[in-house]
Amino acid sequence: MPKTVSKVDAKPGASAPAVTSPDPESHKLWIHCNRCCEQYVQKKSKFFLLACHHVTCEKCVSVCAGRTPSDAPVYECPVCHNKVRGRQVNNTMPNSFKLFFHPEPFNLNNEFIATFQMANHRHFDRFKEKKGAKLHKLTKDIDLAKSICQKRYFNLEIMRVERKKLTQRIRQIKIQVAKQREEKERERRIATDRHHRTAQTQPKTGLGLGQQRHRAKTVSPIHNNYRDTSITSSSSSQKHKQVTSFRHQPNYSFNL
């Protein structure tokens, strides 16, 4: 039996898939300066095709005037450093030179044009690889710097917390020191008040200076006699102990 193909009805509200049209400038992306690799599609400067089959921009090439004003200018190639003639890359250039930038060189049956374009493609691919390697290295450096910054930020946060704790501890110590000073000052005031109070409440029974001298003179005679006898005994002992001459030991020597 033949297979029947069923048609799926499209929904009225559904939108059709968007068809992306190719970039009209995409076939020109390979055109670049063989020295600084600036692209032709950026349209920042003029480009020249030199007789040595190198493409260069006006910033990299140096132009020399011909022998006569009617002569075409001579260009010094920045790649091979040869002084050659050249043409500006635009739509007014001769068709034989314009074919070098044909969008489909494989349909021209011209091996030289295909080789020229393939060489430019490889050169630009190497440039992109270098830029990609440089970008990859920069990305790794950025990641490393980011990790280092994160570690330092983490350490900074820890130090910030420790600083806050130390600040609170210093504040507490200051409060304790102030309380201790207040307590000492209060104790000192209480002691001085107590001393003044006791001095005011104590009876005045002390003797004056004249009374103390009179009391010393009217001491009992027994005490005076005791003092005199002690003084005389000490003087006699000192006289007895006084040495007047050398003392010789007795001789006990004998013969056996």
Q: Within a domain: residue 161?
A: no
Q: In the chain, how many H helices and how many E strands? A: 4, 5
Distance separating alpha carbons of residues 120 and 117, to the nearest angstrom: 5
Q: Within a domain: residue 196?
A: no
Q: Give me the mean pLDDT over the 132-159 stretch.
A: 95
Q: Within a domain: residue 36?
A: yes
- Confirm if 89 and 31 have CB atoms less than 8 A apart: yes
Q: Within a domain: residue 213?
A: no
Q: Within a domain: residue 179?
A: no
Convert the pLDDT of each residue in 200-238 to its tens digit.
886 655 545 455 555 555 545 444 544 555 555 555 555
Closest to 113 (Cα-Cα) out of 40, 30, 56: 30
Which DSSP letter does residue 238 get?
H
Q: Within a domain: residue 71?
A: yes
Q: Show the tokens assigned to 214.
A: 């009179």
Distance separating alpha carbons of residues 132 and 175, to the nearest angstrom: 63
Residues 6+ apart with CB under 8 A from 30: 117, 120, 121, 124
Convert the pLDDT of each residue in 77-97 to its tens digit.
999 999 999 999 999 989 989
Q: Residue 241, SS3?
A: coil
Q: Within a domain: residue 135?
A: no
Q: Within a domain: residue 109?
A: no
The residues facing 64 across adjacent strands are 74
- Confirm if 30 and 121 have CB atoms less than 8 A apart: yes
- Greater confidence (105 vs 255) lies with 105
Q: Is 27 left (phi over 0), alpha (psi -120 to 50) or beta?
A: alpha
| Per-residue pLDDT at 38 exceeds 50 | yes
| Residues 97, 101, 104, 107, Cα dihedral to 10° | 20
Q: Give me the mean pLDDT over the 127-147 stretch.
A: 95
Identify the pLDDT of residue 4.
44
Domain with 90 in it: 26-101
Domain count, the chain: 1
